[in-house]
């Protein structure tokens, strides 16, 4: 299994996942040109992709779709209501748009979508399975529902939102109160503390790799997110060396997990 978060944050999101010979993107919120470049840097040609899974219709998750479908004819998979609400739906070829309900298979990968709580039409996360391995992507969620918590269970790799520090957000003078309330609501974004408790409650395999995603540039800091989450998780008895490896993603870097479960960061330039 290979997992590479090509970009993560309010400026754009895209994650590459390979299981067996099947290569997919989860979200395409950065330009097709940048996706192509980032994939090339990890040794993958964009033409090798077999599909794009879209979590929801916000622009930072779909901005590259028009070019990806026109130039590369890549199939897109998402909920029907998500397609209806995409700002660019009229520019996407119908044969590229595949509405899903719960489960599907693409190549070697079995995929389960699960509902998340966010201010979008029908937002989802995804769990991808192949030969006993599981990768779960859960970002842009206001809180961890029972369904989300169940989806996280037994994952080998988790891409989990750690959007904000509550104190930094509440003290941010640049954010109006209405925006703060939206982010803090059950249909907003997940805080560092809530992300930590989701990991604590997750039923764990012997070892799990965690990529903290969608950090706010204004209301979080990579070191703060990492330290907060590691402190809570370790206090609850999880060995951060033997059982759980936690890394932070960034908006302008690719963070890759290779077959040997070694994480590395690569600048995209």
Residue 152 has what pLDDT?
98
**Inter-axis angle of helices 32-41 and 65-72, nearest 10:** 70
Q: What is the distance, to the nearest Å, from the Cα of residue 18 to the centroid of all Cα atoms in its chain? A: 14
pLDDT digits (tens, 9 = 90+) for 187-209: 999 999 999 999 999 999 888 99
Residue 241 has what pLDDT?
81
Per DSSP, the three-state class of 46 is helix
pLDDT in tens, the chain (269 residues): 999 999 999 999 999 999 999 999 999 999 999 999 999 999 999 999 999 999 999 999 999 999 999 999 999 999 999 999 999 999 999 999 999 999 999 999 999 999 999 999 999 999 999 999 999 999 999 999 999 999 999 999 999 999 999 999 999 999 999 999 999 999 999 999 999 999 999 999 888 999 999 999 999 999 999 999 999 999 999 888 888 999 999 899 999 985 444 434 444 43
For residue 227, give every residue at least 6 positions away whose Cβ sits within 8 Å of its Cβ, in sequence order, or none.
none
Q: Is 211 exposed, middle or buried (0-12, 13-18, 19+ CB in 10 A)?
A: buried
Instruction: Please give the CATH superfamily to which domain 2-250 belongs.
Output: Ribonuclease Z/Hydroxyacylglutathione hydrolase-like (3.60.15.10)
Tokens for 267? 């600048």
């Amino acid at each position: 299994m290979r997992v590479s978060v090509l970009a993560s944050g309010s400026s754009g999101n895209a994650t590459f996942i390979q299981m067996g010979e099947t290569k997919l993107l989860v979200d395409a919120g950065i330009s097709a040109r940048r996706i192509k470049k980032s994939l090339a840097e990890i040794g993958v040609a964009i033409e090798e992709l077999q599909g794009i899974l879209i979590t929801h219709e916000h622009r930072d998750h779909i901005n590259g779709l028009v070019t990806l479908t026109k130039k590369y004819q890549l199939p897109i998979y998402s909920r029907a209501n998500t397609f209806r609400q995409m700002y660019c739906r009229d520019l996407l070829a119908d044969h590229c748009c595949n509405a899903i309900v719960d489960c599907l298979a693409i190549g070697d990968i079995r995929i389960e979508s699960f509902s998340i709580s966010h201010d979008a039409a029908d937002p989802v996360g995804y769990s991808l399975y192949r030969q006993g391995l599981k990768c779960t992507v859960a970002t842009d969620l206001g809180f961890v529902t029972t369904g989300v918590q169940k989806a996280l269970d037994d994952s080998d790799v988790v891409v989990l939102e750690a959007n904000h520090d509550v104190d930094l957000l509440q003290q941010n003078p640049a954010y109006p109160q209405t925006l703060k309330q939206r982010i803090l609501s059950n249909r907003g974004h997940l805080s560092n503390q809530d992300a930590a408790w989701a990991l604590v409650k997750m039923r764990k395999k012997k070892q799990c790799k965690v990529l903290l995603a969608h950090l706010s540039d204004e209301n979080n800091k990579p070191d703060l997110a990492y330290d907060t989450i590691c402190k809570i998780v370790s206090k609850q008895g999880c060995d951060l060396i033997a059982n759980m490896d936690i890394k932070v993603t960034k908006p302008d870097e690719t963070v890759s997990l290779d077959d040997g479960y070694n994480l590395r960061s690569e600048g995209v330039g």
